Amino acid sequence: MTWTDIVFGRLQGAYDFLEAAFGPLGPLYASVAAFLLMVALAAPLALRRPPDPLDRLNEEGGAGRQPEQPVEKVPQNNGLKLRAESNTGLASLAPYLEPQDQKQFSEIRLKLTRAGYRSRSAVSSFYFLRVALGLGLLGVGLIFYLVTKGEQQDIMKMVMTVGFPGLIGYYGPDYWVTRRLQERQEEITTAFPDALDLMLVCVEAGQSLDQAILRVATEIRVGYPVLAEEFEIVANEIRAGKDRVTVLRDMAERCGVNDVSSFVTVLIQSASFGTSIASALRVYGSEMRDKRVMRAEEKANTLPTKMTLGTMLFTVPPLLIILVGPSMYEISQSLGGG
């Protein structure tokens, strides 16, 4: 007898003991109890906050510092603050919900920003929804299984009924954000040539680039709200005094579209070399229109390939039934009569 047989024998014995002691769902109860025990043991380690190096540095500096003369305290203004700091709601759980790795945090933050979620608690809300929906749908699946299990216990049914909803709840927010990001990028790609043409008209009419961006954002708000929002952010940041080059690069990073990145590069190079912005917009706008025509032709060329499967499924079988059906019916009748 090998060690694998011994291990499987002991596992089978434990399984039989749990079924005899707690019924058919004894192994499931034991698994839930083991999971809760692991969570209870890991919670203190997860909730323990590591010491802040800045606090330790302040303590060391305070220990080696000579006592100073008491200074009269200046009353502080406890009413108004430059920035409101909230420790309620998800903000208090941010250290436990948000990833501690700075690279991973920056990636998910950029993804949520490109999807249109720009609030401060976007990352915390995203991870909270993943955990809440995963555990919630897992519990719903478990309750549904306990109600509809009947007398026989099917392991595959239990896994599909309990585990599948939990996976959907856990990965559902990620799928939603990815789809929203793709829709926004497609809308920006579609609207960008028209926005460039309108911007060229505004610049040739005598407006500055900042005024043209704001005017374009106002005009395209009804048809293309996503690109209008990006242009409004650019106009407001420039009006607030931020550097134009930095604002344009931030816009390219927020959009995540190659056309916008190339447009930002063209504007930065035009400003660096002192060339006309109208000429740069005219040339680049023409290229964007050509690219839009090529994208439309590409979709048109791939349409027959996509329709092949539908044609085979919905056209060939009825045609075979119409052509071969009468002959098969006559053959069957002749064989039956003979």
Q: Reply yes or no on whether the pLDDT at 179 is more than 90.
A: yes
Average pLDDT of every residue of the chain? 77
The helix-helix angle for 164-204 and 277-314 (nearest 10°) equals 140
Which residues have C-beta within 8 Å of that of residue 164, sequence separation ≥ 6?
141
Over residues 219-260, the pLDDT tens digits come to 998 888 999 999 999 989 988 888 888 998 999 998 888 888
Residue 43 phi/psi, 5-degree rounding, is -60, -45
Q: Tell which wins on pLDDT, 61 or 330.
A: 330
Q: What is the pTM of this model?
A: 0.64
- Can you give the pLDDT at residue 13? 73
Q: Reply yes or no on whether the pLDDT at 28 is more than 80.
A: no
Residue among 166, 174, 158 nearest 132 (CA) = 166
Which region, left, alpha or beta, applies to residue 71 given φ > 0 means left and ψ of -120 to 50 means alpha?
beta
Q: Which tokens is 249 given?
A: 């690069």
Residue among 257, 240, 259, 237 nearest 248 (CA) = 237
- Can you give the pLDDT at residue 180? 93
Over residues 71-90, the pLDDT tens digits come to 444 444 444 343 344 454 55
Give domain limits for the chain: 184-293
- pLDDT above 70 covers a percentage of the chain that reads 70
Over residues 107-138, the pLDDT tens digits come to 888 899 889 888 888 888 888 888 888 888 88
- Can you give the pLDDT at residue 299? 85
- Can you give the pLDDT at residue 71? 45
If you search the block for the tokens 């960008």, which residue do you land on?
Answer: 192
Q: Reply yes or no on whether the pLDDT at 52 is more than 80.
A: no
